[in-house]
Structure 1
Amino acid sequence: MSTTGQVIKCRAAVAWEHGQPLVIEDVEVAPPKAHEVRIRNVATGVCHTDWEYMYGTGEGMKPRPFPLVLGHEAAGVVESVGPGVTIFSPGDQVIPLFLPQCGECERCLSPKTNQCRKNWANTQMGVLADGTSRISCRGQQVYQFLGVSSFSQYTVVPDTSLAKIRSDAPLDKVCLLGCGVSTGYGAALKTGKVEKDASCAVFGLGCVGLAAVMGCRAAGARRIIGVDVNPDKFAKAAALGATECVNPADHGKPIQEVLAEMTDGGVDYALECVGSPAVMSAALESTVDAWGTCVIAGWTEREAMKVKVEQILLGRTLKGTYFGGWKSVQDVPRLVDDYMNHKLKLDEFITHNLPLDQINVAFDLLNSGKSIRTVITL
């Protein structure tokens, strides 16, 4: 391509400082270095994790360097590849991944985890393998959120953090498999291993929670109870498989007690998709003793979760999930295939489509609970 080996000038939403609105800027994206791929982002979802790092506060918040380009849930097309890249070619449709899969390390070779650590420390701090970013603006380095930065028309990612997908997949839909839908769907199927005819409660009916509902349904759960303080989400939950929904605000007792009464002792599986330690504790306590399983899918780094020892001693299992337990490079293309074969839904999660210059509107829609997923066209 004509841009191979050259710096590309494009538009990106830059976060100059914590807590302030994003600014649409002209940025420069350098060519990929060894084992890196430069991609043209076509579409990106706006995830709560982006909001959390931009606006979240609290003692536990890890410092992130600014300026920063957020975004980590996207799909695009390969523009060029760096030295040593053999799997990808210009024109390939791809989904960038915040969770790598090198295929060689102990964790990649183990069926017990998906948590590869290739370039992990660097990408968590917004840089690539050599300790620098490929994006710059106004003469200074701009950090890449989780090594991705999909709120930019172009970005550069490691070749171990990229999934090649089929050429006929609609990028403005399958971008959701870069984070939210994969996380919730896998929380039920991969991590929770929900069983046929089980009873389940899903706490939080945002994108991750609705995907967890879909996962419970795919597993053949008999009863799927959606829990959310926003009743406007109940119809969508029902369409994706919830058998009933409960608003904690409608009850004068803790929601875990309500669920225990509804299910004669507690649900078999609870999936927490909010990212609130208080909700995490309630989810665990909503499971039946002896065999109840609680999966934490909601993200937070600000607070600690409180667990009564008795809740565990009596036989409950508490598990966490990251990216739904999927091994990213190998499993994301399979999820794309499932969508294309009508085994997995994505369109139903998209409530808004906006251009890049409306990115702050997308954050407002997310924070107010008016959107499930806004897809930004780049």
Structure 2
Amino acid sequence: MEQASLATKTSSNVIRCRAAVAWTTNAPLSIEEVEVDPPKAGEVRVKIIASGICGTDNHTLEGKMKTPFPVILGHEGAGVVESVGPGVTTVKPGDKVLMFPLPECRECFYCLYPKGNFCEKENILSPTGLMLDGTSRFTCRGKKIYNIMGTSTFTEYTVVHEIAVAKIEAAAPMDTVCIMSCAVPTGFGAVFNTAQVTPGSSCVVFGLGGIGSAIVMACKASGACRIIGVDINEEKFPRARALGVTDCLNPNKLKKPVQEVVKEMTGVGVDFAFEAIGLIETMVAALKSCNRSYGVCVIMGVAPTGSQLSFDPLVLLPGRTLKSSVLGGYKTRDDIPKLVTDYVQKKINIDPLITHRLPFPKINEGFRLLQEGKCIRCVLSMRP
């Protein structure tokens, strides 16, 4: 196999490298030699240094998300620009970068509007697994391999659009800030941007994984006085309490629906509720956990493709608000590098979100840790 270190820094060569290929759903990932084509116009080829394993990757592997196979998963990646295609001006070879599952083209209506961040060139709602020109940059065993959300970071090299990559501080530790591609902005933004949690408020967080834990940290930073954590895996409770959760609930051990217990604990329901699991029943439970007059519920979990959210509209009538956002509403290229700078300058701390680190070949062990609820975030290192 051609070693990554031998690759030249031009955009004309095909690179052969290792990647974790998902050939089908509900099967272990296979470490394969893949061919990564050079970047075309407006594209960037990146040498991946580190990548986090996100719950959305696992949902895709389980077949819950509409994604074409075979595919290279992964969307929490940090790396170094190896080469750029014609017309790329915002990054150059050698730059440290983050890649984002949500692009920011800076041209469409949504990118130009001050609020919101859901770029028209997104590849999330109707994933094609292909670049914007309708082709793939990955080949394995003579077969076309698809990408996920235009990123694919479970590989030593990937190709992304310039509109989905941003330069970050040279001092940023790649094996930590990689989770700022998804988990951190999704959780922090849900609190700071979407819900706008207020000091002295009460919150409930459904799901205490990577994004739920980031939500907990942000609620605490916002001055919430009570943070209730909900999860069926009680092994997560000690870590959640360390991050700021004041009360832990396991719905499987309650005699009443969890929303009723939350109401009893708070008197009238919480001020803010967050759903970071991706199940219809927990989305409804989170909404009903809110104070009915002014409670705000934010859905961050991604439900299986084709799901239908159903509840009595009278739940909203008194004044509850149901909201959602992708990547926490942050303009990805404009805003997220600032979060990285805040981390480098020690204004924020995301270290507690990473509980496990593994070498890339042990990626299936990382997925097992995620599936068994034994980690918040597991980060894979691409270094030999």
Give the TM-score taking structure 2 as reference length. Answer: 0.94
SS at match of 1:354: strand
Q: By how many angstroms is 1:130 displaced?
A: 1.3
SS at match of 2:163: coil
Q: 1:122 to 1:351 in 2, by over 3 A?
A: closer
Which residue pairs with 2:369 in the alignment?
A: 365
Partner Cα separation in structure 1 for residue 92 and residue 216 of structure 2: 36
Which residue pairs with 2:8 in the alignment?
A: 2
Which runs of structure 2 are paired with 1:73-222 in the superposition (5 Å)?
A: 73-118=76-121, 120=123, 124-222=127-225
SS at match of 1:196: coil
Partner Cα separation in structure 2 for residue 216 and residue 351 of structure 1: 20
Farther off after superposition, 322-331 or 303-312: 303-312
Q: 1:119 to 1:369 in 2, by over 3 A?
A: closer
Contact 2:9 2:93 in 1 (8 A): no
Q: 1:308 corresponds to which letter in structure 2?
A: D
Q: By how many angstroms is 1:243 displaced?
A: 2.4
Which residue pairs with 2:279 in the alignment?
A: 276
Match of 1:258 among 243, 258, 261: 261
Q: 1:323 corresponds to which letter in structure 2?
A: L
Partner Cα separation in structure 1 for residue 216 and residue 124 of structure 2: 32
Q: Count matched residues.
A: 374
Match of 1:54 among 58, 61, 67: 61
Partner Cα separation in structure 1 for residue 186 and residue 263 of structure 2: 26
Which residue pairs with 2:325 in the alignment?
A: 321
Structure 1: where are the runs of 5+ without partners?
none
Q: Is 1:347 paired with 2:354?
A: no
Farther off after superposition, 20-29 or 335-344: 335-344
SS at match of 1:376: strand
Residues 272-311 of structure 1: CA distance to partner in whole angstroms, max 9, x if unpaired?
1111110010000000111000000011134222222111
Q: By how many angstroms is 1:123 displaced?
A: 8.5
Partner Cα separation in structure 2 for residue 376 and residue 98 of structure 1: 18
Contact 2:124 2:149 in 1 (8 A): no
Structure 2: where are the runs of 5+ without partners?
1-6
Q: 1:373 corresponds to which letter in structure 2?
A: R
Which runs of structure 2 are paired with 1:17-36 in the superposition (5 Å)?
A: 17-36=24-43
Q: 1:123 to 1:34 in 2, by over 3 A?
A: farther
Contact 2:235 2:373 in 1 (8 A): no
Which runs of structure 2 are paired with 1:236-315 in the superposition (5 Å)?
A: 236-302=239-305, 303-315=307-319
Q: What do you get for the CA RMSD once the two structures are aligned?
A: 1.5
Q: 1:145 to 1:118 in 2, by over 3 A?
A: same
Farther off after superposition, 25-34 or 303-312: 303-312
Partner Cα separation in structure 2 for residue 20 and residue 247 of structure 1: 29
Residues 70-110 of structure 1: CA distance to partner in whole angstroms, max 9, x if unpaired?
11111000011110001111110000111000112110111
Q: By how many angstroms is 1:119 displaced?
A: 5.7
Contact 2:76 2:179 in 1 (8 A): yes
Which residue pairs with 2:4 in the alignment?
A: none
Partner Cα separation in structure 2 for residue 276 and residue 298 of structure 1: 7
Partner Cα separation in structure 1 for residue 207 and residue 149 of structure 2: 24
Match of 1:377 among 365, 372, 381: 381
Q: 1:38 to 1:136 in 2, by over 3 A?
A: same
Partner Cα separation in structure 2 for residue 209 and residue 295 of structure 1: 12
Query: What percentage of residue pairs aligned between the two structures are identical?
Result: 50
Q: 1:96 to 1:116 in 2, by over 3 A?
A: same
Q: 1:178 to 1:123 in 2, by over 3 A?
A: farther
Which residue pairs with 2:3 in the alignment?
A: none
Partner Cα separation in structure 1 for residue 297 and residue 122 of structure 2: 30
Q: 1:231 corresponds to which letter in structure 2?
A: E
Which runs of structure 2 are paired with 1:63-74 in the superposition (5 Å)?
A: 64-74=67-77
